[in-house]
Chain A
């Protein structure tokens, strides 16, 4: 079923980067190191986007997650002094979060992966890399009245709201 070619090898490499980075995040006792492992992991995701013929999303992944979110996480970790050196790998919520993670995994598998890519799924016959839309088509779809124009404008409002909230919280701490 899975044949060994350059595509699968590269997929394996990026998967290892993604998962290995994720393990690094949860296994590290230093929060700053954790955030760098997170960036490493997100880089793997960017590679997976390229393999899925979604270069736009790959570039966005690098630009937003590595160039902005990664930096912001580092900034915020440095703001929380004393959080940089944690003694234990596991905290008291580990059991609860484990259950939540397993549940989420099952929900994703049953709710999304199987219906779409499963044996009788909507996209079972077409490999994902054949479903190609250009970035310009995405641009039209974003502002098209019959497609995504409302979510598009709402994103702008949502980001504004997020910024307002963060400013209020950060400034209170300042005083």
Chain B
């Protein structure tokens, strides 16, 4: 009988007299519990990180009373939320009202099923992994719609409408940016996408796509500068106005988790996931370590943006998406697809045998980078011109107003 370990639980259980089907079920259940509880535990710590980070930026100390460095602040908050009175407003659809916050967390949690932590540790390596994560993430939109509708409150409904319009809009550039790694890897499996980056990380081959993915996933979390759903001055907290206690907390737990999940997805799709030196030797330690080191970079960048960039107006938000991000992401996808073809036709692309070799990947990467630089140069130039026109127009309006005032004074 062989030694029982995390990799052969099923066989082990069968050997010790379990029914094979039952053993399989227990294995699956154990895997699910491990993968699903991980983000839920981490989020408790993340909320602390986020509050400390925001505090430092705003020249405050942040939570520092409960536990060492205020680490237990979130636990205290959770206990407080559970002990709070939970109000279901009159006229609310009770079933939907209670299901909505659960769905908001669920949609983020489900993404973790396909995140590869190491070469051998992944919840489940679906053939359609990338599409799976877009699909389950779109459930969040539905959760917000349900929350806004079931509260039986005009502000909630209006807030939900706005957020849903924002979320569905930013899903378009997100998916087009996501198509680029799929194109490179010729696969939708998350594990394949990571393996395909062993020669060169996709971010160096398609930085524009990476940034589009990052920006639109920032919008998908509803974080600043895209936090219109929290625009207290305009729509009184938005879709979750009627929620209180733990249900209110769950929406935010989902949001905090989503930010980390976005960092992890950035790492997996564009920064080689668990890839790193010596990872094959100690996959269970180094794999997650590399993955979360890379994720942390994007996570912290996201926090930095959240705490330093002012909120945009809703018309700016929509214009930025439909007139800038969407066309840019589509053109970017086409350019990369064509350049990749060209590289193959001209023989610049690395052969299948040395696809994992860093040096063999350099020529192709350079060509793709050049294409990206061209797109970026055009876009930046275009943005500068549009910005100048807008400033001039505004300056003109101000001048006209001043002139009018002067005329009235005379």
User: Residues of A with Cβ closer than 8 Å to B?
Assistant: 6, 32-33, 36, 39, 55-56, 59-60, 62-63, 66-68, 70-71, 74-75, 78, 134-136
Contacts and interface: CB of A to CB of B under 8 A. Distances in A.
Kindly name the residue among B126, B127, B138, B164 whose own CB sees the greatest number of chain A CB atoms within 10 A: B138
6 contacts: A32-B149, A59-B128, A62-B135, A63-B138, A67-B139, A136-B186
Nearest to B130: A59
Interface residues of B, number: 26
B141 A67 contact: yes
B188 A68 contact: no
Nearest to A74: B145
Contacts of B128: 55-56, 59, 135
B142 A59 contact: no
B141 A71 contact: yes
Contacts of B93: 33
Contact of A135 (B127, B139, B146, B157): B127
B131 A66 contact: no
A71 B188 contact: no
B127 A134 contact: yes
B390 to A, nearest CB: 26
The majority secondary structure among interface residues of chain B is helix
B136 interface: yes
A44 to B, nearest CB: 15
The majority secondary structure among interface residues of chain A is helix
Interface string B65-84: 00000000000000000000
Interface string B171-195: 1000000000000001110000000
A55 B126 contact: yes
B55 interface: no
Contacts of B21: 6
B142 A66 contact: yes
B139 A62 contact: yes
A32 B128 CA distance: 32
Contacts of B146: 36
B377 interface: no
Contacts of B26: none
The 8 closest A-B pairs by CB, nearest first: A67-B138, A62-B135, A63-B135, A59-B131, A59-B135, A55-B128, A59-B128, A56-B128
